[in-house]
Amino acid sequence: MPTKTIAIVNSTGRQAASLVRVASAVGYQVRAQLRKREGIVAEELEDLPNVTIFEGSLEDKELVQSLFKNTHLAFINTTSWGDEVAIGKELASAAKKAGVQHYIYSSMPDHSSFGKGWPSLPQWSSKFTVENYIRQIGLPATFVYAGIYNNNFTSLPYPLFCMELKPNGSFEWKAPFHPDVPLPWLDAEHDVGPALLQILKDGPRKWSGQRIALAFEVLSPREVCAKFSAALRRRVHYVPGPIEIKVSVPNGYREQLDGIEVLFGKYNAPYFGPDLQAPDEALALWEGFRGIEEYAREVFPVEEAANGRTWMN
């Protein structure tokens, strides 16, 4: 039975919550930071065994010091709340000072660094900047690069992954990706936790300094739609085209979307860059993944119902 303590930040997020659930279930002592005790996921995590909630902002240095005190392990997925680079660097410095033995950071590539004329995506380049800082200070760390979440799909009018319900009962996904260029996919809630747990079990001797593409399927948009169609037993059609923004989006996200349209729509750049491939390493970590067809059949209708949609009735 494991007795190690792990610190996890932004614990209500899909990646972090997945690890909280799995680590708690196998006996790790989990310190789960979250901004507020609000929402269904926060309530769920608070009721799990072996979980201590740390409520507050990651800009609170005393909270961060308490989070890492006598902690062996950490999983850090920073978000755009506040200055992500400053927060990411502060977390890494605090973890090193506390003697954290294995630090897993959820990073992403800066495509401008590959020398191919590709633009950087603002919400990814900040993570890459933090990754470089973690390397510079010598913290024993592993860097996971998450694929596209299966759970991004919705029939609500959100940009990029809207499965628009048409009057004839079919779905249409419109996005800037080339219809036949493969993309990496990940069921974050189901599969991040088990994969990270295996990385932690293997330890820094195997994984320190390594990047891991955390994606279990590599499918083109046409292939994704074919799997949705098989699961839902209705036509699902992909249409390549510009991103349509029909609702208000958070500050900074419009720039991210503009960059995605250029990086993947114009240049067809590899999602993780030219040097990191999926899905072999992820599959070696965790074979029990939930593929996108199973997600579309078993989970997508449930999430749609929770959003007030009735097409599945």
Residue pLDDT, tens place only, 140-158 = 999 999 999 999 999 999 9
Strands 183-186 and 217-219: antiparallel
What's the DSSP call for residue 298? I
What is the average pLDDT value for the chain, to the nearest integer? 96
Residue 203 has a pLDDT of 97
Residue 273 has a pLDDT of 96
* 281's tokens: 């390493």
Residue 1 has a pLDDT of 45
Handedness of CA 281, 285, 291, 295 (dihedral sign): negative
Residue 82's pLDDT band (boundaries 50, 70, 90)? confident
Q: Which contacts qualify for 154-161: CB closer than 8 Å, 24 or more apart? A: 154/303, 154/304, 154/307, 155/304, 155/307, 155/309, 155/311, 156/307, 156/309, 157/246, 157/247, 158/247, 159/243, 159/244, 159/245, 159/246, 159/247, 159/249, 159/257, 160/243, 160/257, 160/260
Residue pLDDT, tens place only, 206-240 = 999 999 999 999 999 999 999 999 999 999 999 99
Question: What does the pLDDT average to over 249-274?
Answer: 94
Least confident of 18-27, 44-53, 73-82: 73-82
Report whether pLDDT(55) > 90: yes
Q: Are 59 and 88 contacting, i.e. CB atoms less than 8 angstroms apart?
A: no
Amino acid present at 253: Y
Handedness of CA 103, 29, 34, 246 (dihedral sign): positive
Least confident of 24-28, 182-186, 201-205, 251-255: 251-255
With a pLDDT cut of 90, the percent of the chain lying above it is 94
Question: What does the pLDDT average to over 105-110?
Answer: 98
